[in-house]
Amino acid sequence: MTNNNHYVAIMAGGIGSRFWPMSRTSYPKQFLDILNTGRTLIQATHDRFKKFIPLENIYIVTSEEYVEIVRDQLPEIPVKNIVAEPSRKNTAPCIAYISYKLQQLNEKGTLICAPADHIILDDTAFTKVCLEATSFVKAHKALITLGIKPSHPNTGYGYIQFEQQPASDNVYKVKTFTEKPNADLAKTFVSSGEFLWNAGIFVWQVNNIVAAFEKHLPELAEIFEAEKTLFNTEKEKAAIEKIYPLCTNVSIDYAVMEKADNVYIIPSSFGWSDLGTWNSAHENMEKDYLGNAVSGSEVMVIDATHNMVHVPNNKLVLLQGLNDYIIVDTEDVLMICKKEKEQEIKQYVAEIKRNKGDKYL
Q: What domains, with CATH codes, occur in the chain?
A: 6-273 (3.90.550.10), 280-356 (no CATH)
pLDDT band of residue 180 (cuts 50, 70, 90) is confident
| Mean pLDDT over each residue of the chain, to the nearest integer | 94
pLDDT digits (tens, 9 = 90+) for 94-137: 999 999 999 999 999 999 999 999 999 999 999 999 999 999 99
d(CA 52, CA 135): 14
Residues with Cβ < 8 Å from 354, sequence gap 6 or more? none
- Among candidate residues 167, 344, 117, 352, the one with its CA nearest the CA of residue 267: 167
pLDDT band of residue 256 (cuts 50, 70, 90) is very high
Check residue 244 and give its pLDDT: 96
The top-scoring range by mean pLDDT among 11-15, 111-115, 172-176, 185-189 is 111-115
**Please, what is the Cα angle at 24 between 328 and 332, to 5 degrees?**
50
d(CA 98, CA 105): 11
Check residue 285 and give its pLDDT: 92
> What pTM does this model have?
0.93
d(CA 13, CA 21): 18
Check residue 2 and give its pLDDT: 66
Confirm if 274 and 157 have CB atoms less than 8 A apart. yes
278: helix, coil or strand?
helix
**b (16+ CB within 10 A) / e for 63-76:** beebeebbeebbee
CA 195 to chain CA centroid, Å, is 20
Check residue 95 and give its pLDDT: 97
* Residue 289, Cβ density class (10 Å: 0-12 exposed, 13-18 middle, ≥19 buried): exposed
Give the side-chain half-sphere CA count within 13 A for 51. Answer: 15
Confirm if 247 and 223 have CB atoms less than 8 A apart. yes
